[in-house]
Structure formats: C-alpha cells, structure tokens
Amino acid sequence: MEQRTIAFIGSGNMAEAIFSGMLASDYDKNRIIAANRGRERLEYIRNKYGIQITQNNHEATEKADVVVMSVKPQMMEEVCTALTDIDFSSKLVISIAAGVTSQRIASLLNSDIALVRVMPNTPSLLNRGMSGLFANENVSENDKQYAQQLLKSVGEICWTEQETGINSITGISGSGPAYFFLFMEAIQQEAQRQGFDSETARMLVQQTALGAAEMVVNNPDLNISTLRERVTSKGGTTAAALSTFNAHALNDIVSKAIQSAVSRAEEMEKLF
C-alpha cells in the first residue's frame, strides 16, 4: 500500500479498526498519527500500536497527506471549523462520519476538498468489514486507489457513483449486521423454547450462521437461491419452514425494513 502520512481525527473504535488493519498490511507506523480528545485513549494506542499520538487535531491535520475524519457525526461541525485555516489543496480527506454529506464537510472546512466518504460497518473491527465508498469530483484516480486499499485492510469495499448510494449502503451493510443478529436471536429463542439451554442454543445458531455464510462465500458461482434450493427437499422439513416464512412475506418485510433504514439515513443527512 502507498505510504502517505495519515492522521485520524478522532481515534475511537472505528479508527482503531482501520489503523490496526493498515499496520497488519505493513503500513509504516511512523506515518500514522492518532489524534483524540481523551489522553488515556491515546496512551493505550501508543502502547499497543507504537504510532504517533496527539491531542492537537490541528497539528495532526497540518502534518498529514491524508486526513480521516473519524469523530462522531455530531462532533464534525466543531472539529472541522477549527481546521478551516489549513490548506487542504494537496490533501485527501476521508470521512467515515455517518450522515454527513460531502458538501457539508466541504462547507465546514471552507475548502474545495478532495473527499472520499465512507460507510464502514462494525465487523471491520474483526477485518470482516463491508465499506461503501463515494468520491467527490476532486478525487484523483490515485487517491481513489489509496482510499480503496485503506478500507480493504479491514474487509471488502464497494464504490458508489452517486452519493445517494451511501444511504443505500447504510441500509444494507451498515445496519445489516443487526438484521442478522435479530434473525439469530429469534432462532436462539426458539431453540431455547425447544428445550436447549441458552449456551447450547447460541452455539446451534452461531455455527449455523457461520456455516451458511461460508457456503455463500466459498461458492461464488452459485446463486444464493441455488444454495437454498439444494438444502430444500420437496415435502421436507426445510420446505415446511420456508413456506411459513413465505406465508408471512419475509422478503417484503426485509425490503420494507431496508427502505426504512435508507429513509432514516436521508433524514439524518439533514441533521448534521
């Protein structure tokens, strides 16, 4: 991966996931700066990763070729407006703040910035992330490659041509882990009703979910529907369960749920 000096403005969970992924991909630790409000968190980061640390966002941003905005969305205004005197013309800004549009960030920084907006998800903490990326018109091909490599260090990536695609990605993979958790919880609860203790019920569901996900990943040439059909014998137990799901229109429920998440993402863009 190309070695540029990169500063994380806000060094919480998601920033840590990304820089730990970068370090695992042999990124030069001397070129990573973690900026954070709390000192204790920075000491932990220095001890664990040996990267540069600072409580001074301004100094970190000035030094960096790439600035990752990784504070909570509600902090973006305060953090960005303190950086407006910095010349961003030769810097790449990468924002992972949910619900803050590229236009909004450019207006907060008072600059015509090159910006890649990213929607990661929580499994990035385990290098199993799924990130959606959108580049504004000022981002070069080289910058796109850099941003792509950065997020690939914690999982898979998907570019969207239009910024509205970030809201769709939020509703699909951003919020997606919770959909699977909900489904797994429901199976675990029923397993307990069938007489298993909660630990055994959890093992039954987690291993099944993992196995199903691995089957999808390991069979890229098979449609997911084919995998389903292959385990569904006519008149069998799986067919009985699936017909109950269909009778309750599971597909419609999923579709409506994702649409609700996308609408909420659109509303949230107006808040920050």
Q: What is the DSSP letter of 173?
A: I
Give the nearest residue (CB) to ligand NAP. 12
Q: In the window 116-145, what residues touch ligand NAP (CB under 6 A)?
A: 119-122
Q: Which among 198, 134, 135 has a CA at the least distance from the CA of 168?
A: 134
Site for ligand NAP contains 151 (CB under 6 A): no
Q: Contact letters (x/-) for ligand NAP, 64-83, by CB under 6 A?
A: ------xxxx-x---x----
Q: Which of 97, 116, 135, 166 binds ligand NAP (CB under 6 A)?
A: 97
CB of 272 to ligand NAP, least distance (A): 9
CB of 191 to ligand NAP, least distance (A): 28
Q: Which is nearer to ligand NAP, 35 or 191 (CB)?
A: 35
Q: Which is nearer to ligand NAP, 36 or 101 (CB)?
A: 36
How many of the chain's residues bind ligand NAP (CB under 6 A)? 27
Note whether 55 and 79 are within 8 A (CB).
no
Q: Which of 53, 66, 93, 98 binds ligand NAP (CB under 6 A)?
A: 98
Q: Given CA atoms 53, 55, 59, 60 in this order, what sign does their dihedral have?
A: positive
Note whether 153 and 21 are within 8 A (CB).
yes
Q: Given CA atoms 197, 200, 202, 204 in this order, what sign does their dihedral have?
A: negative
Q: Which is nearer to ligand NAP, 12 or 232 (CB)?
A: 12
Cα(243)–Cα(232) distance, rounded to whole angstroms? 11
Helices (H), 219-249: 224-230, 237-247
Helix (H), strand (E) at residue 255: helix 250-269
Q: In the window 6-45, what residues touch ligand NAP (CB under 6 A)?
A: 9-15, 35-38, 41
Q: Which is nearer to ligand NAP, 76 or 201 (CB)?
A: 76
- Please name every residue paired with 134 in a beta bridge, in sequence order, or none if there are none: 117
Q: Which residues contact 89 (CB under 8 A, 6 or more apart)?
A: 111, 112
Which residues make up the interface to ligand NAP (CB under 6 A)? 9-15, 35-38, 41, 57, 70-73, 75, 79, 96-98, 119-122, 174
